[in-house]
Structure 1
Amino acid sequence: MTGKYRFLLRPGWVALALLTVALVVTMVLLGHWQLDVSDSKHFSLQNFGYALQWWAFSIFTLAFFARLVRDRVRTTRSGTGAGDPTPAEPTQRVEPPVTYRRYVPPAPVRADDPELAAYNDYLAGLAQPATQDEGRT
């Protein structure tokens, strides 16, 4: 085993690898069982979908473990491992954080606005019952 993957021999990583293998084997067997149930029901599409779903979960589990290992190798290679108290100097220029604008509420409406007064009068007229229509019924 090369030096960059030596961390996989630590107890925590061995336990994680064993858990990953156990989960993948369990999910593959559950998918096979769902496929058998689908065949016993003369190809039940629902159970066939469940079988595919279990196998997709197992692929996701393997991909997640591979991603964890890859990220660990990258951080170890760059010198910022978990045991390293001082992070390495950044090689790229760090951009300043993006400043966001603060919400500014709209200005209050002026009471002497003639257009607003006309609109309010129109709405008040709509709210009043029509006196001519009431007498006809």
Structure 2
Amino acid sequence: MRSVFRSLLTPRWLLLHVLFIAATITTGFLAVWQWDRAHEAGGSFQNLGYALQWPLFGAFTIFLWIRVARMDLSREREEAAPEADASAEQVVEQPEVRRKRPLVPPPAPRVDPDEDPELAEYNRYLAELNDADRRAS
């Protein structure tokens, strides 16, 4: 657990902490400013909308801060795990991840020129471009 806190106190992370804190405080000030502006004589519903929107930006900043910290910590754990496994000389097999969808969709069925002449002409044009691209590479 101590390594967790140490990794969040590196110079890089200290700078990120300052940045996230400054961004969160700034969104709070902007929300108050827009709220006051909405209640002035020249204020409008747009200012009121912004006053309600800025706290959401601040909440997103906090969410992003936590998410980035967790991603960084999990990456460090994954990097430390092979070192521990290598010292114990144990190989742990990872389960194979199967995709539910193929990376490349299947080709579309051929279009008969009698069905749709414009679409058939367009498909011929695309096939010519594909052939020219294959010849060029």
Q: Given residue 110 of structure 2, which amino acid in structure 1 is its aligned partner? A: P
Partner of 1:19: 19
Partner of 2:114: 109
CA deviation map 1:103-126 (0-9, x unaligned): 33213339xxxxxxxxxxxxxxxx
Q: CA offset at residue 89 of structure 1? A: 5.7
> What is the letter of the counterpart of residue 36 of structure 2?
D
The structure whose residues are more often helix, as a share, is 2
Match of 1:28 in 2: 28
Tell me: CA distance 1:33–1:13, structure 2 relative to 1, closer, same or farther (3 Å). Answer: same
User: Looking at CA atoms only, which structure, 1 or 2, has the larger radius of gyration?
Assistant: 1
8 A Cα contact 1:31 1:55, kept in partner: yes
Question: Are residues 89 and 80 of structure 1, via their aligned partners in 2, closer, same or farther at CA, if it must alter by over 3 Å?
Answer: farther
Q: Which runs of 5+ in 2 are unaligned?
A: 84-90, 116-137
Q: Classify the secondary structure of the residue corresponding to 1:9.
A: coil
Deviation at residue 15 of structure 1 after TM alignment: 0.9
Q: In the TM superposition, what is the alpha-carbon distance from 1:67 to its structure 2 partner? A: 0.4
Do structure 1's residue 100 and structure 2's residue 99 form an aligned pair? no
SS, match of residue 80 in structure 1: helix
- Residue 28 of structure 1 deviates from its aligned partner by 0.6
- Length, aligned pairs only: 104
Once the two structures are aligned, what percentage of the paired residues are identical?
30
TM-score (normalised: structure 1) = 0.62
